[in-house]
Each structure stands twice: as C-alpha cells, then as structure tokens.
Amino acid sequence: MAFSPSYTEFDRMIWETELADFVPERVFDAHAHIWSEANVTAATAASLLRHEADAEALFRWGKTVFPGRKLAFMMLGSPVCGMDFDADRAWCVKESRRFPDCVCGVLLPPWMAPEKLISEYQRLRFRAVKPYLSFTEHTTESFLHELIPEKLVEAADQCSLTVVLHVSRPECFLDPENLRDLKYYTGKYPHVTWQLAHCARSFNNILLEKPVQQLKELDHITYDLSAVCDDRSMYLLFRHENRSRLMFGTDAIVAGGMHGTYVPFGHSWAFVPEKERQGTTLVCYESLRAMRRAADMAGLDRKDLEAIFYDNALKNYGMEKK
C-alpha cells in the first residue's frame, strides 16, 4: 500500500479548535523517520515505510502540522528490511546536520559487530541507535536481548548512546522477560539511555498499568509519547513517572501522518485507518488529543508541557538549551 501524506480542512479545524492553544511555541519531535530510496538493495523489502522523505521534507511536513512552531527532530532511520545499512546510516547523519538543534538515530541490526558500532559512532557522531523487531529471527516474539544483544549494549555504553526501543513481544513490559532484560541492562550499563518508544509501546494502557511502577524505579530511562492514542497510557506516565523523562513525538512521517487512530482492546490494539468517512484526522493529532486529555486529568501546567514538548529532549540528548 502506497502512502501519501495529506492535510485536510478537517485536520486544520482540529488543529485550530483543539490543539493550537495546547501545543507550546517550541516542539522537539523525539521520534520521526526519514528515508531515501538511494539506500535500497536487491534484497530491500517492499514496505509502507519506504516513503521518500529527507530532512527538508520532514520539516515541510512539520510546518504544515504544527504551524508557527519552532521545530526540531530526532531523525531516525526507517526500519526497512534488506537496505544498505552503511549507506543509510551515513545519509541519515548527513540529513540531520542540515538543520540546527536536530539529532540523529541510526538503525542497529543485531548482527552488527560491536567494533563497527564504535568506529561508526566515532566517524559519524550519531546520538542514538534504533534496533527493531523486523531485523530479528523471531520478529514480534523477540526478546529484548535478541533485539539488541549485550555485546552491542556494551558498545553503546562506551559511546554513551541512546537506544530508541520499540520493545517486542505481545505483552510488552508486562512480559517478565522484557522487564528482566531491561533491569539487567540499565543496572550494568550506566552510560546507555533507553528511550522507550510509544509510551513503552503501550498503545493499550493495560500494558503499562503494572509495569510503570517498576519502570519508574529504573535509572537511565526516558519515554517518547509518539503515536499513542490511549489517553490513560499517557496519564499513567504523567501521574507516576518523573515528567523530566517524557518527550513528545509523532512517529512521522508515515505512521504519524496517516489518517486514522490506534484502538485498544483486551491486551492488544489495532490501527483503524481512514475509510473515506468524515471525522478522521491524523494519528499525530489523535495522539495530541489524548495527550491533552491526560494532561488535564494529571494537572499538568504550562511549564510541564513546555518541558515535555521541547526542553526534556535537549536535556536527554545532551544538548545545550538555546
């Protein structure tokens, strides 16, 4: 299925009537993706994520979705199987440097040699790495130590990198094996920061309700809120976590720029796409609407919001506040 980002009059109405007075003047998107077809190989898989988007396209999209805001991004590679990882890594870093205040996260397949990760970091100076379930043998059933083996965590520790973690396995951090691995890694490798993507992948709040009590006790943890449309998942973080560890994100351009929403049920969730009916807006707007409801329930003030939307990213990525 091809993806083409669009912005409708209904989207504009949602922004103007529900979000414009909520979103602060500065927005640091801690979870956004870029991609170049120049980095495909004969083995590259067909994927919705193969949407051509360089840094300029990302900013163009951001300025449409967040009009009048000062923008910055964590630019992540797009986890497409079979790509030229070396070329993609260099391209992503180059693109991120085109705009001030942006940082780059490169893809990390589990078979990468730790010596190469260290040498590539020294050469390119990316800020983060992103393992992903599609690079593993067991995909959606992969343990955390399969997504990123310990030898690569040790290398990341030597480079003081952030690991942007889209945790695998259906129960996420309700899964005791995932929680055990994360406790082990955070305890042994103090120079790695773990960015738990998508509210620790809690598109359904039941997956976070119990684990948040244990996650909040771990050091070296941050979260991005990208693409989560369940207001209670965000409320649990606002209520129980240190708010300085929370960062706004969209999962742009593809996932955050789709029209539809993520709906929880049981212990799982599903993406419900637009089906040519009125009243459907962008996933990133649905996520912002959930964030607004959660912020109201948790009693966040303007200072809290400004930190989550911008300041926390500067601190968590080791950037000086300007």
ω into 206 cis (within 30 of 0): no
114-124 and 150-159 helices, crossing angle to 10°: 30
* 3-state SS, one letter per residue, for 59-72: HHHHHHHCCCCEEE
What are the beta bridge partners of residue 265?
A: 268
CA distance 171 to 173: 6
What's the pLDDT score for residue 4? 76
What's the pLDDT score for residue 3? 74
Q: What is the pLDDT along the chain (322 residues), one digit of tens a residue?
A: 467 789 999 999 999 999 999 999 999 999 999 999 999 999 999 998 999 999 999 999 999 999 999 999 999 999 999 999 999 999 999 999 999 999 999 999 999 999 999 999 999 999 999 999 999 999 999 999 999 999 999 999 999 999 999 999 999 999 999 999 999 999 999 999 999 999 999 999 999 999 999 999 999 999 999 999 999 999 999 999 999 999 999 999 999 999 999 999 999 999 999 875 668 999 999 999 999 999 999 999 999 999 999 999 999 999 865 4
Q: For each of the domains in the chain, give its residue range(s) and CATH number, in order of start.
A: 9-316 (3.20.20.140)
* CA gyration radius, the chain: 18
Phi, psi of 201 (to 5 degrees): 55, 40
What's the pLDDT score for residue 180? 98
Q: From 2, 11, 5, 14, select the one nearest 251 (Cα to Cα).
A: 5
Q: What's the N-to-C CA distance of the chain in angstroms?
A: 41
CA distance 308 to 55: 22
Phi, psi of 315 (to 5 degrees): -70, -45
Dihedral Cα 183, 245, 314, 253, nearest 10 deg: 90
What's the pLDDT score for residue 322? 46
CA distance 131 to 153: 11
* 3-state SS, one letter per residue, for 278-299: CCCCEHHHHHHHHHHHHHHHHC
Q: From 313, 185, 315, 193, select the one nearest 247 (Cα to Cα).
A: 313
CA distance 151 to 145: 10
Helices (H), the chain: 9-14, 55-65, 85-96, 114-124, 144-147, 150-159, 176-188, 197-201, 206-209, 211-215, 231-240, 254-257, 283-298, 302-306, 312-316
